[in-house]
Amino acid sequence: MNSRRRQLFSSFWLLLAAAMLLANPSSFYAQARKRASAAPAAPDESVEWERLLIKGEPQPTLRFPVVHQTAMSNCIGYLFITRDEIWYEVKGPAGHQDHAFRQPHASLKEARQWVLMRNHTNAVEYKFADGKTEHFFRVTDGAVETQSLMTWETPLSYGPMEQAVTNFDAVVRLAEERQRALAPKPIPTVSMNVEPATVEKGQPVTLTWTSSDATSLDLEPGIGPVPARGSKTIVPAESTTYLLTVQGPGGGSNASGHVTVNAPQMPPAIVLMDPSVSTSGQRIEARKSPLVVRGVVLDSSGLPVVTINGITAALRPKSAQAAEFASDPITLLPGDNRVEIKATSPTNVQATLTFIAQYAPPVAPTPAPPPNNRGLAKADILHLLQGDVPSARVVNLVRERGINFPASDDALNEIRAAGGDDDLIDAIRQAAQAAQH
The per-residue DSSP string of 286-349 comes to E-SSSB--EEEEE-TTSPPEEEETTEEPEEEESSSSEEEEEPPPBPPPSEEEEEEEEEE-TTS-
Does residue 69 lie within any of the structural domains? yes
Closest by CA position to 161, among listed 264, 50, 47, 261:
47
Peptide bond into 196 cis (omega under 30): yes
Q: Is 153 exposed, middle or buried (0-12, 13-18, 19+ CB in 10 A)?
A: exposed
How far is 388 from 395, CA to CA, in rounded Å?
14
Does residue 364 lie within any of the structural domains? no
Last residue of a domain, one of 262, 286, 308: 262
Does residue 193 lie within any of the structural domains? yes
- In a shared domain, residues 109 and 72: yes
- In a shared domain, residues 17 and 150: yes
The pLDDT of residue 143: 85
Does residue 327 lie within any of the structural domains? yes
| Predicted confidence (pLDDT) at residue 214 exceeds the cutoff of 60 | yes
Does residue 371 lie within any of the structural domains? no
- In a shared domain, residues 27 and 154: yes
- In a shared domain, residues 165 and 307: no
Does residue 112 lie within any of the structural domains? yes
The pLDDT of residue 31: 44
Do the beta carbons of residue 291 and residue 285 sit within 8 Å?
no
- In a shared domain, residues 221 and 335: no
Do the beta carbons of residue 91 and residue 144 sit within 8 Å?
yes
pLDDT (tens digit per residue) in 170-193:
999 999 999 998 888 889 999 999
Q: Look up residue 67 and give its amino acid.
A: V
Do the beta carbons of residue 9 and residue 1 sit within 8 Å?
yes
Average pLDDT (91-116) is 92
Sheet holding 230-234, edge to edge: 189-195, 205-212, 230-234
Query: Which CA distances in Å does 171 have to 38, 53, 90, 167, 288?
Result: 17, 9, 24, 6, 111
**Residue count of the chain:** 437
Q: What is the CATH number of the domain that holds 328?
A: 2.60.40.10
Residues contacting residue 339 through CB under 8 Å, at least 6 positions apart: 291, 293, 308, 309, 330, 354, 355, 356, 357
C-alpha 272: how far from chain center:
46
Peptide bond into 25 cis (omega under 30): no
Confidence of residue 411 (pLDDT cuts 50, 70, 90): confident
The pLDDT of residue 370: 59
- In a shared domain, residues 140 and 157: yes
Q: Looking at 292-296, 305-309, 429-433, which range is the least confident one?
A: 429-433
Last residue of a domain, one of 122, 156, 182: 182
Q: Cα angle at 325 between 348 and 335, to 5 degrees?
A: 100
pLDDT (tens digit per residue) in 104-142:
999 999 999 999 888 898 999 999 999 999 999 999 888
Residues contacting residue 237 through CB under 8 Å, at least 6 positions apart: 201, 261
| Predicted confidence (pLDDT) at residue 410 exceeds the cutoff of 60 | yes
Phi, psi of 433 (to 5 degrees): -65, -40
Number of domains within the chain = 4
- In a shared domain, residues 256 and 275: no
How far is 349 from 380, CA to CA, in rounded Å?
83
Closest by CA position to 129, among listed 97, 100, 107, 151:
107
The pLDDT of residue 437: 65
Residue 200: give the domain boundaries. 189-262
Which residues, listed in sequence order, are joined to residue 135 by a DSSP beta bridge? 69, 125
Does residue 372 lie within any of the structural domains? no
pTM: 0.47
- Pairing outcome for strands 74-81 and 61-69: antiparallel
- In a shared domain, residues 161 and 249: no
Does residue 163 lie within any of the structural domains? yes
- In a shared domain, residues 154 and 32: yes
- In a shared domain, residues 391 and 345: no
- In a shared domain, residues 212 and 241: yes
Last residue of a domain, one of 146, 166, 182: 182
- In a shared domain, residues 173 and 280: no
How far is 267 from 87, CA to CA, in rounded Å?
91
Q: Cα angle at 417 between 416 and 420, to 5 degrees?
A: 35
The helix or strand, by DSSP H or E, that contains position 209, with its residue range, turns out to be strand 205-212
Q: What is the CATH number of the domain that holds 29?
A: 2.30.29.30
The pLDDT of residue 39: 64
